[in-house]
Structure 1
Amino acid sequence: MGLTNLMGHKPSSSKLTGTISPTKLDPWIGNSISIEPTQSVYATVTDTQTGQPPPSPPSSFHCHRREISQNPRKPVFPMHTGTSLSRLTSSARKFLLPLVAVGTATTAAAAFHSSRFTVPPGHRAVILDRLHGVSGTSIGEGTHYTVPWIRKPYIFDIRDKPHTFSCLAHTKDLQPVNLSLAISLRPELSKLPETFNHLGLDYDEKSLPAICSEVQTIVANYDVDQLLLKENNSGVLDDIHGSLVERAKRFNVLVVDVSILDVSCGEQVAQAVEQKQVARVEAETSKNLVVKAEHDKEAAVRRAEEELEAAKQFAELPEDVHEQLLAQSRAEAQREVDKVLAMFEDAANSSRSSVVDASNPSS
């Protein structure tokens, strides 16, 4: 049987009175309606085979739909459902198409922006591939393109990075010493991907403690007075620089420069070192005085020997030669005396003229 215009309009063929039971008509499963005779319900019931109205149903009956019974899982929609769905689909298309276009354009712009990166001067880039890991080569300065979200660039600063640090070390004579040093580091370009794998971008912060531990080993080879004396700092600095260079190579880091800023120790140790230095200077001074005295003694001995030899030679000369030498000596002495007297006379005359000029200012 077929059921049409259920609870829609007042029928003209037959009249049924009853109450709809709480049982609901499920368009997917349900295929019956229970009516109890307490309230009027109008429906037109026709036989799908003969086209004639069926006999009057009892007070409670079930209207079975042949179409639903044949396919209970097929949903039942009103006749105008297809038109409504088509209208809904067209409206959805008009609303969704701009959104899809905007989303596609935004995604494309984001992908293009993510695929471009720039390496500034003094830097290099290492590419991390999410599928194959870190690439074996680094990329230089300029603008580059890569596959977004799969290959990500990491920018390295390859310029010299200065650092200052202080460390406490013990000298050869077991005295604690505080050293302040300045060191400049930069990564080794040929091994930049390996440095990124082991240390990351902050390679200097991670490698610096291990590198500076070598300073303690070098300080242990010197006495405290050797470290405090500035004239010995060059030798200590050379040893520290060489040791740090070898240590930094293990981390693929290059040590560009090392300098000692300050060396300090305890007050008592500093006083002891100062006294030792003063005693050393006094000893050096005394040694120099002894050497000078020895040289003066040798010079006096040589001078006396020369004078004695000259006297012997003079004694062996004839008398007339003695007279000539004496006369020559007297003449030289007289010339020296005359020269000195002339200098005194010139000085006296100049002073006298200045006094006269001072007494006569009008002239």
Structure 2
Amino acid sequence: MAQKVASAVSLGVAGVAGLIIAQSCIYTVEPGHTALKFSRLTGLSDKQYNEGWHLRVPYFERPIIFNTQTRYKTFPANTANADMQSVNITVRVLFEPIQDKLSELYRYVGQDYDNKILPSIMNEVMRAVVAQYSASQLMSQRDKISQKIQKILEERARVFHINIKNIAITELSFSKEYQEATEAKKIAQQEAERARYYVEMAKDIKKSIIIKAQAQTKSIELVGQAAANDASYIDLKRIEYAKEIASVLADSRNHIMLNSDILQMDASLKTPKRN
């Protein structure tokens, strides 16, 4: 009986040991990842292993697993533009490793290439591009600036075996002093436009007054000429004025008695009384 128990224990131990050895001989590559294999005997292999289970020789071989999915990182920077104004810019970058260059990427940079390479070249590219544009151009040509940053960044990152998929400017702002100066400039321009409007309006009023005065002067000249040519013209005007005054008084609720002198009528213009 004791012999059977000892035999069962031995089998159990052997099974556990076999399971541990089997687990150490197998590694798993998750979806969206690719593995390289490093051997203590032959060094880093260029052969790539895709998702699934793979075998390795314990102690002598170890897998190096890369995340080959497209990922993004955000890079902020404070730099100066062509006007020497302080600019805060933040760029979001979509990137991935170049698949057939994984062994070289690992050999010269490592698995954390995104923390070693991208911050350095992104900062350099953003500073170089922003320095070429004025403040107004940065605000009005945002798409053009994004395309230029992406083009330069693609060239720089390809040297390190990194593929840039897309970039987007998520923030673009200026210093508080510049924003206050810009706001003050807008207010000053609005005030200048308002003053210009008032000046133009005053000119139009002045022109209207001059035209009216010229018309009145011409009217007086014509009246003077008519009176000089015909004395009865003055009497005719007196009658017209008297009719206007009488019309106004007729519409009034108050009864007012006026003599002919007040109506500016000559005594000779009065209607004679009948016998």
State which of 75, 88, 99 in structure 2 corresponds to 1:189: 99
Moved over 6 A (4+): 93-100
- CA distance in 1: counterparts of 2:79 and 2:97, whole angstroms: 27
Gaps of 5+ in 2: 197-275
The question of 1:269 aligning with 2:172 is answered: no
- CA distance in 1: counterparts of 2:41 and 2:8, whole angstroms: 35
**What secondary structure does 1:260 align onto?**
strand
Q: How does 1:31-70 map onto structure 2 within 5 Å?
A: none
State which of 203, 207, 220 in structure 1 corresponds to 2:131: 220
Match of 1:131 in 2: 41
The question of 1:172 aligning with 2:79 is answered: no
Tell me the alpha carbon deviations over residues 263-288 of structure 1, each in whole angstroms, 9 at most, x when there is no partner.
111122123345667859x99xx9xx
Report the RMSD for the aligned CA atoms in angstroms.
3.0
Tell me the alpha carbon deviations over residues 145-170 of structure 1, each in whole angstroms, 9 at most, x when there is no partner.
12122111122111111111211111
Question: Which letter does structure 2 place at the counterpart of 1:222?
Answer: Y
The question of 1:199 aligning with 2:109 is answered: yes
- CA distance in 2: counterparts of 1:252 and 1:275, whole angstroms: 48
% identical aligned pairs:
29
Confirm or deny: 8 A CA contact 2:26 2:53 kept in the other structure. Answer: yes
Tell me the alpha carbon deviations over residues 10-30 of structure 1, each in whole angstroms, 9 at most, x when there is no partner.
xxxxxxxxxxxxxxxxxxxxx
Shift of 1:183: 0.8
Confirm or deny: 8 A CA contact 2:75 2:119 kept in the other structure. Answer: no
Q: How does 1:1-363 map onto structure 2 within 5 Å?
A: 104-213=14-123, 214-227=125-138, 229=139, 231-274=140-183
1:277/1:199 CA distance change after superposition, 3 Å: farther
Gaps of 5+ in 1: 1-92, 287-363
TM-score w.r.t. length of structure 2: 0.61
Choose 1 or 2 for highest CA Rg: 1
Question: Which letter does structure 2 place at the counterpart of 1:257?
Answer: N
Shift of 1:201: 2.2
Match of 1:69 in 2: none
Looking at secondary structure, tell me which structure has more helix per residue: 2
Shift of 1:137: 2.2
Tell me the alpha carbon deviations over residues 119-176 of structure 1, each in whole angstroms, 9 at most, x when there is no partner.
1211111111122221112111222112122111122111111111211111122221
**What secondary structure does 2:141 align onto?**
helix
1:222/1:116 CA distance change after superposition, 3 Å: same
Tell me the alpha carbon deviations over residues 76-122 of structure 1, each in whole angstroms, 9 at most, x when there is no partner.
xxxxxxxxxxxxxxxxx999988776555443322211111221211
Tell which has more relative contact order, 1 or 2 (C-alpha 8 A, sep 6+). Answer: 2
Q: How many residues align?
A: 190
- CA distance in 2: counterparts of 1:256 and 1:144, whole angstroms: 30
Tell me the alpha carbon deviations over residues 322-350 of structure 1, each in whole angstroms, 9 at most, x when there is no partner.
xxxxxxxxxxxxxxxxxxxxxxxxxxxxx
1:131/1:96 CA distance change after superposition, 3 Å: farther
- CA distance in 2: counterparts of 1:258 and 1:174, whole angstroms: 25
1:99/1:200 CA distance change after superposition, 3 Å: farther
- CA distance in 2: counterparts of 1:103 and 1:134, whole angstroms: 35
Confirm or deny: 8 A CA contact 2:72 2:95 kept in the other structure. Answer: yes
1:185/1:273 CA distance change after superposition, 3 Å: same
Confirm or deny: 8 A CA contact 1:225 1:273 kept in the other structure. Answer: no
Tell me the alpha carbon deviations over residues 3-60 of structure 1, each in whole angstroms, 9 at most, x when there is no partner.
xxxxxxxxxxxxxxxxxxxxxxxxxxxxxxxxxxxxxxxxxxxxxxxxxxxxxxxxxx
Confirm or deny: 8 A CA contact 2:73 2:93 kept in the other structure. Answer: yes
**What secondary structure does 2:45 align onto?**
strand
Confirm or deny: 8 A CA contact 1:123 1:157 kept in the other structure. Answer: yes
